Amino acid sequence: MKFLRRFLIRLSHFATRRRADQRLQEEIAEHLALQIEENLSAGMAPAEARRQAAIKLGAVHAIREHHHAEHGIPFIENLLFDLRYAVRMLLRSPGFSLIAIATMALGIGATTAIYSVIDATLLHPLPYPNPSELVRIQDDLPGVGARGVGISVPEWRDLESSGIFQSAAITGTGANVNLTGTAQPLRLSFKQVTPNYFAVLGVDAQLGRTFNPHDATPGYNLEVVLSDGLWRREFGADPHILGKAVRLDNDVYHVVGVMPRGFRDQGSTSDEQNVELWLGAGFAGVPFPPPLRSSRQRSRVVIARLKPGLSIAAAQGHLDALVESLTKQYPAEYPAQTAWTVRLIPLTETVVGSVRQSLILLFGAVGLVLLISCVNVANLLLARTSVRAREIAVRQALGAQRTRLIRQLLTESLLLFLLGGVAGFGILFLARKFLLQLIPDSLPHMNDIAISWGVLGFALAVSVIAGTVFGLAPAWLMSRLDLTSTLRQEGRGAGGSRQRSRARQALVISELALSLVLMVAAGLLLRSFWDLFAVQPGFNPDRVMAIETWLPGPNDPTMDPYQTATQEAVLLREILSRTRALPGVQEAAVGDEDSLPLGHSHPSPLPLIREGIETMENQAPVIESPIVSPEYFHLLGMPLLRGRIFSEQDIETTPQVAIINQAAANTYWPNQNPLGKRVRLHLDTRGLASSAEPVWTTIIGVIADARTESLADAATPQIYRSVYQRPAKDLAIFLRGQLDPGAVSAQVRQQVQAVDATLPVFHAETLDEVLSTSLSVRRFSMEMIAFFAATALLLAGLGIYGTISYVVNEQRREIAIRLALGAQRGTILKLVLRRGLGLAAAGAGVGVAGALIVSHLMAGLLFGVSPNDLPTFAGVTIVLTGVALAASYIPALRAMRLDPITTLHSE
């Protein structure tokens, strides 16, 4: 308290600039007078009395300084002093200041931009209270190589009552539902969740309520919670929405609540995070299959909130024990060879997932750019030594302390860096709209990217740290001037000390090395991207469009107009014949969402049971299983290798047939003819309520592999089934021909709704667009890194130019003498260029070593190119050397054209 009071009084003195000096002087005068009087009365001579009084009082000046320091805050006063001086110095050399500030603005601005993305994605991935307690529960069957096989309802109940979690909820991974009764039938993204879902997340409704966590309805409880966006968009933010009925897939639900604005669901894709409806369900009654321990659903996720204070590792320990006891209790359900395990994964990790690596790479790259900018500015600061050496030497000669000098120089560099940081932040803030457009939509949490206070804080912190680190070294070196030699050199400017020129060279070499690392990274990414772009996808996306629709799936199957394949086939055939007649259309086909090449976000593989090999679905490998119409393969140009394609005669009542791709044939029937083999795909997504004995499906054809999952992955095993035998709700209509992408959506909608007016039609895309979107994150990171590499190269070029100019300037006497003695001008040129080349070689050497490390770290992001790719390394080194030579050429020319007579005279 006392300290605080003292500080506040001093602060107020400082702020009001009140001086206590006058008062002190008066007091001292009085003090001296009294002392002299006393000395006189003690019998001293007047002169002696005055002398003794002064001695007794002590050094008046020191006392005044002490008194002044006690009165105000000397630290801040000095800082202001230094700042004023620094501003004056910056204004005195505006060219230097401008370049330095612009360089730092670039470095800090770019770093801050990437940080703002990372802040929204990696650092704040979960907008829920106590996010560290949230986990995702995944179960694997490592014994048969199956991961994420899904959790059955009895298993979920075991987890709920295990005491490890506050609560655990089942959620779908998001699906679509048709909302009818509005102007246009809408396809909305919904999630079916157990009623305790929102309790697990810890978020409440802004209007009404969420589901009652203790609700134990086995099927759908017919309650719906809306997102704020949907409520505003489709219901005009109706405050009386609670209790109203909405028709979803022909079932009537009642609105019980509206989630707050800004609430974002968890999940790894933007589709999942943009869910607009939540339906409460127990997952244990119609339309869900009976809750058997063995009926696992891959499309379901269990998330849970750990008991407070329980670490993930500890919880995993408890869970392992639970799994072990369950395995003993139900040996038939959990055969030993499948090695059933249950894992806890922090929810954070599952949300950011795949982009983490790209973002970290970007942040690393931008960090290098920042480092290079800092090095460049440090280099500029050092270069100024020659200009300011005299000034500093004079101040030192007058008794300035070294620490005081360093403090002042540091203030100058900090001011430079801070101005740069503020400028960079300002530019970023003004350009944010434009920059956000560059970011691909597929990035999770795209909408949360904001230039916030935290981001500003980051920019300032980076400026201050960089300014301190990179300002300290030049300040240190500057304050170690050799006084006599500097002062003796009159106006010539200091011939830099050896130390300083060595420091400069080290800085340039590191700049070159860092930019080489960045350029190699950019080169490798560019080559990967190019290879991916050029890769044969195995299907032909030219002139193909996909338009999606969604058939309702009411909870009561008997209410479903498209319950059976036969019923659905009527609709599909009608849609196909109508769309085929549209202008420009040459071919048409339909498939489910899984058949959309590169476009489907929720692959849901099914257990594959081969006749005579697997006996229990628990032990089966899993396989992706798109459902398509017979025209699909021809439309996409996927050639048949053996057997036959589906025909129009393969229908519900004829034997079930399937087509596999080459990869599936190689994986599951190596060295055998797969034609005629029989399989069963159990746990199918639809029709589970009718639990008739599943029938065998015969393989009738093998098609060539296609990269329909990801361009980067060679084909994954696929088994295709006919939509006329296996109805699907999530449909895509494929059209090939001379199509007008702008008009197709409306034309198809008209035709589809002419057949059934309740069907929504949405999301028309050309396959070329889908292809390019699937590469968008890669393209984004490649473009950014290429941009950073170009910036780095430019900065490094400037750095080497500055250093060589400086060296030439320093040696101009020597060069003039050589010229006067008859040296060839060409020799001088070579002399200077060799210096530049020397620096470039050193930089390249260090850089190649660094680049090798970095390229191996980013191997996961590369495609078709080795991390040690020789052409990339060689090309980048040549470019760097070329730039270094070009940058040295201008000062070299200047050296060559030096006039020996004037130069020698002027010295």
Query: What is the rounded CA–CA span in Å between residue 3 and residue 378?
Result: 39
Q: Which of 58, 181, 741, 860 binds another protein (CB under 8 A)?
A: 58
* Identity of the residue, 26 or 899, whose beta carbon is nearer to another protein in the bound complex: 26
Query: Which of the ranges 5-13, 211-219, 263-271, 293-301 carries the binding residues for another protein, by CB under 8 A?
Result: 5-13
Unique residue bearing structure tokens 């969420």: 210
Query: Which of the ranges 66-74, 357-365, 605-613, 632-640 carries the binding residues for another protein, by CB under 8 A?
Result: 66-74
Query: Which of the ranges 1-9, 102-110, 276-284, 492-500 carries the binding residues for another protein, by CB under 8 A?
Result: 1-9
* Identity of the residue, 13 or 209, whose beta carbon is nearer to another protein in the bound complex: 13
* Identity of the residue, 32 or 616, whose beta carbon is nearer to another protein in the bound complex: 32
Q: Which of 45, 60, 245, 450 binds another protein (CB under 8 A)?
A: 60
Query: What is the rounded CA–CA span in Å between residue 556 and residue 539?
Result: 39
As measured in angstroms, the least distance from the Cβ of 412 to another protein is: 32
Query: What is the rounded CA–CA span in Å between residue 585 and residue 286?
Result: 42
Query: Which of the ranges 67-75, 585-593, 778-786, 889-897 carries the binding residues for another protein, by CB under 8 A?
Result: 67-75
Phi, psi (5° rounding) for residue 696? -80, 145
- Ranges of beta strands (E only) in 406-518 are none
* Identity of the residue, 35 or 619, whose beta carbon is nearer to another protein in the bound complex: 35
Q: Which of 19, 45, 46, 59 binds another protein (CB under 8 A)?
A: 59
| List of residues 6+ apart from 239 with CB closer than 8 A | 207
Q: Which of 284, 260, 144, 276 is nearest to 206 (CA)?
A: 260
Helical H segments across 185-300, by residue range:
197-201, 228-235, 270-273
Please tell me whether residue 763 adopts helix, strand or coil conformation: strand
Query: Which of the ranges 59-67, 580-588, 612-620, 629-637 carries the binding residues for another protein, by CB under 8 A?
Result: 59-67
DSSP characters for 1-32?
A: -HHHHHHHHHHHHHHHT---HHHHHHHHHHHH
Tell me, by CB under 8 A, how many residues bind another protein. 29
* Identity of the residue, 52 or 294, whose beta carbon is nearer to another protein in the bound complex: 52
Site string for another protein, 646-675 (x = CB under 8 A): ------------------------------
As measured in angstroms, the least distance from the Cβ of 48 to another protein is: 18
Q: Which of 15, 57, 387, 755 binds another protein (CB under 8 A)?
A: 57
* Identity of the residue, 24 or 446, whose beta carbon is nearer to another protein in the bound complex: 24
Q: For 119, which DSSP code?
A: I
Phi, psi (5° rounding) for residue 800? -70, -35
Both tokens of 206, joined, read: 């802004």
* Identity of the residue, 30 or 611, whose beta carbon is nearer to another protein in the bound complex: 30
* Identity of the residue, 3 or 453, whose beta carbon is nearer to another protein in the bound complex: 3
As measured in angstroms, the least distance from the Cβ of 62 to another protein is: 8
| List of residues 6+ apart from 666 with CB closer than 8 A | none
Amino acid letter at 846?
V
Query: What is the rounded CA–CA span in Å between residue 567 and residue 4?
Result: 83
Tell me the pairing of strands 220-226 and 251-258: parallel
* Identity of the residue, 53 or 699, whose beta carbon is nearer to another protein in the bound complex: 53
328 touches another protein (CB under 8 A): no
As measured in angstroms, the least distance from the Cβ of 46 to another protein is: 17
* Identity of the residue, 35 or 212, whose beta carbon is nearer to another protein in the bound complex: 35
Taking a C-beta distance cutoff of 8 angstroms, is the pair 483, 390 a contact?
no
| Residues linked to residue 302 through DSSP beta bridges, in sequence order | 137, 170
Orientation of helix 355-383 relative to helix 402-430, angle to 10°: 130
As measured in angstroms, the least distance from the Cβ of 75 to another protein is: 17
Site string for another protein, 108-127 (x = CB under 8 A): --------------------
Angular region, 407: left φ>0, alpha ψ -120 to 50, beta rest: alpha
C-alpha distances (whole Å) from 268 to each of 179, 261, 345 are: 25, 20, 13
As measured in angstroms, the least distance from the Cβ of 45 to another protein is: 21
Site string for another protein, 17-56 (x = CB under 8 A): ---x--xx-xxx-xx-xxx-x------------------x
As measured in angstroms, the least distance from the Cβ of 33 to another protein is: 7
Helical H segments across 669-766, by residue range:
741-755
Q: Which of 9, 216, 252, 339 binds another protein (CB under 8 A)?
A: 9
Q: Which of 45, 69, 570, 714 binds another protein (CB under 8 A)?
A: 69
* Identity of the residue, 65 or 648, whose beta carbon is nearer to another protein in the bound complex: 65
* Identity of the residue, 71 or 680, whose beta carbon is nearer to another protein in the bound complex: 71
As measured in angstroms, the least distance from the Cβ of 401 to another protein is: 22
Query: Which of the ranges 62-70, 146-154, 827-835, 883-891 carries the binding residues for another protein, by CB under 8 A?
Result: 62-70
Amino acid letter at 152?
S
Amino acid letter at 78?
N
Q: Which of 6, 88, 244, 897 binds another protein (CB under 8 A)?
A: 6
Query: What is the rounded CA–CA span in Å between residue 191 and residue 114?
Result: 32
* Identity of the residue, 60 or 98, whose beta carbon is nearer to another protein in the bound complex: 60
Q: Which helix (H) or strand (E) holds 105?
A: helix 94-118
As measured in angstroms, the least distance from the Cβ of 77 to another protein is: 16
| Residues linked to residue 248 through DSSP beta bridges, in sequence order | 179, 251
Query: What is the rounded CA–CA span in Å between residue 540 and residue 744?
Result: 20
Both tokens of 631, joined, read: 């025209």
As measured in angstroms, the least distance from the Cβ of 32 to another protein is: 9
* Identity of the residue, 56 or 261, whose beta carbon is nearer to another protein in the bound complex: 56
Unique residue bearing structure tokens 């040129």: 829
As measured in angstroms, the least distance from the Cβ of 49 to another protein is: 14
CA angle 159, 153, 685 (to 5 degrees): 140
Query: What is the rounded CA–CA span in Å between residue 705 and residue 538?
Result: 6
Q: Which of 18, 21, 48, 66 binds another protein (CB under 8 A)?
A: 66
Unique residue bearing structure tokens 């070009």: 886
Query: What is the rounded CA–CA span in Å between residue 347 and residue 132?
Result: 8
Amino acid letter at 15?
A
Q: Which of 67, 293, 580, 894 binds another protein (CB under 8 A)?
A: 67
Taking a C-beta distance cutoff of 8 angstroms, is the pair 338, 141 a contact?
yes
As measured in angstroms, the least distance from the Cβ of 20 to another protein is: 7
* Identity of the residue, 34 or 506, whose beta carbon is nearer to another protein in the bound complex: 34
As measured in angstroms, the least distance from the Cβ of 73 to another protein is: 12
Q: Which of 481, 141, 531 is nearest to 342 (CA)?
A: 141
As measured in angstroms, the least distance from the Cβ of 2 to another protein is: 5
Both tokens of 495, joined, read: 């011939």
The residues binding another protein (CB under 8 A) are 2, 5-6, 9-10, 20, 23-24, 26-28, 30-31, 33-35, 37, 56-60, 62-63, 66-67, 69-71
